[in-house]
Amino acid sequence: MGSYVIVRRLATQPKLAKAPKRKWKSVVGLEVHAQIASASKLFSGSGTAFGAPLNTAVAYFDASIPGTLPVLNRKCVESGIKTALALGCRVNEVSMFDRKHYFYADLPNGYQITQQRAALANSGLMTFPVITPGKKVYYKSVNLLQLQLEQDSGKSLHDEHLKRSLVDLNRAGLPLMELVFAPDLETGEEAASLVKELMLILKRLQTCSCKMEEGAMRVDANISIHKEGDPFGVRTEVKNIGSVRSISQAISYEINRQLELVAEGGVVTNETRSWDAENRRTIAMRDKEVLQDYRFMPEPNLPPLHVNLKPGSSSTNDLISVAALSKEIPELPEHTRQRLMEHYKLNAETAIILVNEPVLLDHFVNITKSLVGVPTKLVTNFLINDLLTYCNKLSLDIEDCAISASALKDVLKSLHAEQINLQAARQLIQLLHNNPTSDVSQLIGEHNLEQICDMSTIEAYCQQAMVNQPKAVQQYQKGKSKALFAIVGEVAKLSAQKANMKLVVNCLEKLLKTQK
């Protein structure tokens, strides 16, 4: 296609000797390991609690004690199927387990049990909104090539000082879903948005805690660049990405690194790089081997995993029905967004923010249900611009904010009734956060937050403000209407932010007009 364009141009514009510059394209593919939320491990009965004392959640099988055999955890299969269904996958009637061999101290068996030849599910599709700061929201679709079940490895701890390696097997055998996405992404923001959406889905399904800080979700990114029309370039793999924000940063960094490298005449090599979150850069990892041959082999101790694909079937003791599980799938985030936009007439951005923050969404639904007549816009503005901003400022996870929906409802009720103004409402958020059990109306009284609506008081404030801001009065009267804000601000100051600003503006306009 590209070359065709060039040829045609050359033909019609023979003087243009130089080919037009073709744009660089970046290609990003993700592999996500999500730990399945489950009480026991994938093939053994030991527990899965995060942070258990070292080597205490280890069944004989997890430590590869000779003669032990894997027993597949049904709950994990069900979670895998639910996830696959939510992501639009084709669940396979028969899937199989394989051994992937490599020697590592934290891999006690010398192989990992995974699904290589026949995965649990294939061919999914995820469509999700991409939020790039300062740009319009758009939707992106990515193919999910494969969803497979596999066991996690243990952890090695290296004591550089004592020159010893220590092994913790608590993680060995934890259930993972590996999701392999097609390289359909272009930017770090798209990748971060995909992961964000995936997290929302898995949390709704309750199939993964998605706590990246606990390693419950791990993301590896494959990144390459190529000129438009050319085949894909050599890719690098970035591992060790520890947060959603890092995904976007790491990928953007890696794309730019590759672009700069090529611009300087360098060549991108196929390597594994690690994200250094502190210094915000990717660094080449020591390559394990030039070419790993994992010597895959079918796991002989696990019979093929059969599932029932018949519509309308139900699960039995030894056969899981996919149709029965599909009934357990809750409303998915995208459906919620559409519902919010249709039912509450919210715009896309607002719907996205609410869905991204399940707590806000809950507040929104509860408040609008019980506060009839309050415009949804007032509610969403308050929740997003005030509550969320307050939490962000404190670096507080909204989920950890203890303010109840009913308290928020009371605040909004007073705000809507103009009993308090927005300033007071913001102050109430702070007061409630520090003291979640207090009563809103009591707080308003105690802290004297009631809005001043008395016209004579307001007029007195306005008079005083005009005296204090003679320059602004002059400018306003010369036709510079914006100067009014300075006078309004003065009133706010004089009234300790309590005057009803709507009334203040009316009053000032009237006073300024008559004074003229």
Partner 1 sequence: MRGHMKLGIKQLTAGYINGQFSPKAVTEQALKDAKNLKTLNAFACLAPEQALQQAEDSTERYAQQKPIGGLDGITIAIKDNFCTSNLPTTCASRMLKDFVPPYDATVADRLRAAGAILLGKTNMDQFAMGAGTVDSIYGPTKNIWSEDLSQDNWRIAGGSSGGSASAVAAGLCYAAIGSDTGGSTRNPASYCGVIGLKPTYGLCSRHGLIPLVNSMDVPGIVTRSISDSVEILNAVAGPDHLDSTTIQKSFKRLQLPEVDQIDLRSLRIGIPKEYHCEGLTAEVLETWTKVADLLECAGAHVQQVSLPNTASSIFVYSILNQCEVASNMARYDGIEYGHRSEDERSTEQLYAQSRAEGFNQVVKTRILTGNFLLLRKNYEHYFEKALRVRRLIADDFAKVFKPSATEHKVDILLTPTTLSDAPLYKDFASLSNRDQCAVQDFCTQPANMAGIPAVSLPVRLSKAGLPLSLQLMSNHLNEQLLLTVARWIEAQVEFDCLESLEKHVARD
Question: Phi, psi (5° rounding) for residue 115?
Answer: -120, 105
Residue 97 or 382 having the CB closest to partner 1: 97
| Nearest by Cα to 459 from 414, 419, 515 | 515
Smallest distance, partner 1 to C-beta of residue 409, A = 52
Q: How far apart are CA 454 and CA 460, in angstroms?
A: 10
Smallest distance, partner 1 to C-beta of residue 166, A = 11
Smallest distance, partner 1 to C-beta of residue 64, A = 4
Smallest distance, partner 1 to C-beta of residue 95, A = 14
Q: H/E/C letters for each residue in 273-326?
A: EEEECCCCEEEECCCCCCCCCCCCEECCCCCCEEEECCCCCCCECCEEEHHHHH
Residue 259 or 302 having the CB closest to partner 1: 302
Please state at what angle helix 333-343 crosses helix 188-205, rounded to 10 degrees: 90
Smallest distance, partner 1 to C-beta of residue 72, A = 7
Helix or strand holding residue 42 (H, E):
none
Residue 167 or 200 having the CB closest to partner 1: 167
Smallest distance, partner 1 to C-beta of residue 156, A = 9
Q: Which amino acid is at 195?
A: V
Residue 149 or 199 having the CB closest to partner 1: 149
Report yes or no: 128 and 139 within 8 Å, Cβ to Cβ.
yes
Q: How far apart are CA 264 and CA 406, in angstroms?
A: 60
Question: Phi, psi (5° rounding) for residue 343?
Answer: -75, -40
Smallest distance, partner 1 to C-beta of residue 314, A = 19
Q: What is the greatest pairwise CA distance in the chain?
A: 98
Residue 53 or 300 having the CB closest to partner 1: 300
Binding site residues, partner 1, CB under 8 A: 60, 63-72, 99, 101, 103, 105, 108-111, 165, 167, 293, 295-297, 300-303, 318
| Nearest by Cα to 95 from 149, 48, 46, 52 | 149
Structural tokens at position 392: 């962000």
Q: How far apart are CA 230 and CA 6, in angstroms?
A: 14
Helix (H, G, I), strand (E, B) or coil at 229: coil
End-to-end CA distance of the chain: 70
Report yes or no: 334 and 128 within 8 Å, Cβ to Cβ.
yes
Smallest distance, partner 1 to C-beta of residue 71, A = 6
Give CB contacts under 8 A, 24+ apart, made by 282-289: 282/236, 282/238, 282/250, 282/253, 282/254, 282/257, 285/239
Residue 41 or 426 having the CB closest to partner 1: 41
Smallest distance, partner 1 to C-beta of residue 149, A = 14
Residue 39 or 69 having the CB closest to partner 1: 69
Helices and strands counted in the chain (H then E) = 17, 17
Smallest distance, partner 1 to C-beta of residue 255, A = 31
